[in-house]
Amino acid sequence: MGEIRNFRSGNHDEPPPHGSMPRRLAAIIVGDIASYSRLMQADEEGTHVRVKRIERDLIQPSIVEHHGALVKTTGDGFIAIFDSPVEAVRCSIVIQQNLVGRNATLPKDSRIEYRIGVNLGDVIVEPDDIYGDGVNIATRIEGIAEPGQVYISGAIYEQIKHKVVCGYESLGDRKVKNITDPVRVYRVLPDADAVARTRGRRENILIFLLGVTLLVIASGVLWYLLAQPSGRVNEQAAAPTVAPVASPSPQPPPRDAATQAPQPSPSLAASSPSPAPAPSQAPSPSATPLREPEMIAIRGGSFAMGSNDDPTERPVHQVTVKPFSVGKYPVTVKEWNECAAAKACGFTANGKDDAPITNVSWTDAKQYAAWLAQATKKPYRLPSEAEWEYAARGGTQTKYWWGDKLQPGMAGCKDCGDLAAEQPAKVGSFKPNPFGLHDMGGGVDQWVEDCWRRTYQGAPGDGSAWTGADCSSHVLRSGSWKNDSRYVRPSNRDGYDTNVRYPTHGFRVALSP
């Protein structure tokens, strides 16, 4: 287990010539167990035995049967490569379908479920591992897959779409860490008719809701007509319309209904906040006292920024940060909707008031900060990347702010010891760091001011935001509830398109003194 087999033609035992790096085009499967940390915490020995049995009895035989090779196991997952994309996808489906049978009699919280990502790419082959963007993309696809599901890249889809009898649901283009171009992602539906049935169910639901709406409207009209005194309706129809007395100031024209709907992601130039209503207007939700985000004052200081855990976090460099304040929590749905009510933010968010706002672009976050600054006359803004990491570390230099080992109850991520969730926990659900800040790791990805760059080479040392150049992408910090614990580290960083909204993206605000 864990050894490469049949990776190179020729003599497998001889090392490659000095300086050469054997490469091959391969279909790569990356599998990972959902909620592995929780399972291990509940029953460490039992979970270990069950995982090893699944690897021995199901995963390895399925890979061999489909003419692939197991590269390695990773404790909570595995990596395998195949010459044929068709066989790679078939193997993935077989593994998932067999796991369904194994889990059928188990309680939901005891089931071992894998997320599987499949990609086609050029890889570097070594005796005990494989490397390259092809592997990285497969890993990223696995990271967004749902438990029990197989997600594939567009490169795999193009090779198998007419060869494997199953359905496919396009999930659109996804921006993945350290990969320049977006990756088209598909969810595999083993039943060839599954997509049509899914669409049919959605259409039936829409038709049902439309029917209910029309019935309610018709009932209201009928009730109104029946409730009128005899002859009242005809009197109203015949009565002339009397114009109301004009008010001292002209009334604004009625807003078009289209302006009430959530808007698409705005362009790079943030729209200006709406002017305050005239005194003659009726009070609006934005006229109520503004609830500012709770802020924590951070004393300035110096720290070593970055780590050697990932190329994007290098080089480690000394940074001196000036005093500032930062939000105790990420911005919440309630706080965001105050901006939306003032017509200064692009959409009204759904969800609980104390949940973090999600599905916002960097431009959305900037709009909120600009509105908050104008409404309060205080210099609210997004934190710089250096400020964010300084605050997230809470004066520590360990892997996580609480130490070098993952601990349950400290952060919200997919393997942080909590049940898998469809949305992030409400703000403040996990312990604060030494600076009193919550969710500085896990929960939601958080936008900062800086433009995205692949390394820290040339980064400022004064804690200011690194802007300028091509700013089509900006930096995200924290990781989200859908990421694993690697993303929870204070040094972890990622980049994403400036104007694109994504379901795990949120933010918090900073305040200059």
Domain ranges of the chain: 23-195, 295-511
CA–CA distance, 151 with 376 (Å, rounded to integer)? 46
**C-beta of residue 187 within 8 angstroms of C-beta of residue 156:** no
Helix, strand, coil shares of the chain as percentages rounded to 5? 30, 20, 50
Q: List all residues 6 or more positions away from 140 whose beta carbon is below 8 Å from its beta carbon.
A: 117, 174, 176, 177, 179, 183
The reply to whether omega before 315 is within 30° of 0 (cis) is yes
**C-beta of residue 439 within 8 angstroms of C-beta of residue 458:** no
Q: What does each of the 513 residues of the chain score in pLDDT, given as a tens digit? A: 333 333 433 333 344 444 556 788 999 999 999 999 899 988 999 899 999 999 998 999 999 989 999 999 988 999 999 999 999 999 999 899 889 888 888 898 899 999 999 999 999 988 888 988 899 999 999 999 999 999 999 999 999 987 876 788 999 888 877 777 889 999 998 754 444 444 455 456 666 777 777 777 777 777 766 665 544 444 444 444 333 333 334 444 444 333 333 444 433 333 333 333 333 333 344 456 788 999 999 999 999 999 998 889 999 999 999 999 999 999 999 999 999 999 999 899 988 999 999 989 999 999 999 999 999 999 999 999 999 999 999 999 998 989 888 887 788 888 787 554 667 889 989 999 999 999 999 899 999 999 999 899 999 999 999 998 668 889 999 988 888 888 899 999 988 888 888 888 999 999 998
CATH 3.90.1580.10 assigned to domain 295-511? The reply is: yes
Q: Which CATH number fits domain 23-195: 2.40.50.140, 3.30.70.1230, 3.90.1150.10, 3.90.550.10?
A: 3.30.70.1230
Q: The tokens 């049995």 sit on which residue?
A: 53
Q: The tokens 């900073």 sit on which residue?
A: 510
Question: Among 511, 185, 162, 487, which Cα is nearest to 327's?
Answer: 511
- Strands 23-33 and 114-126 come out as antiparallel
Give Cα 141 to chain centroid, integer Å: 12
**C-beta of residue 249 within 8 angstroms of C-beta of residue 301:** no
How many CA atoms, within 13 angstroms, populate the side-chain half-sphere of residue 178?
17
pLDDT of residue 228: 58
pLDDT of residue 247: 39
CA–CA distance, 479 with 443 (Å, rounded to integer)? 7
> What Å distances lie between residue 466 and 165, 303, 462, 478, CA to CA?
49, 17, 10, 18
Strands (E), 193-344: 295-298, 301-305, 317-321, 324-327
CA–CA distance, 369 with 384 (Å, rounded to integer)? 13
Apex 18 CA angle, 14 and 24, nearest 5: 70
Tokens of 433: 């760091």
**C-beta of residue 102 within 8 angstroms of C-beta of residue 53:** no
**C-beta of residue 326 within 8 angstroms of C-beta of residue 298:** yes
Tokens of 486: 């690697």
Please give the backbone phi and psi of residue 67, each rounded to the nearest 5 degrees, phi first.
65, 35
DSSP for 7-52, please give it. -SSS-SSSPPPTT---EEEEEEEEEEETTHHHHHHH-HHHHHHHHH
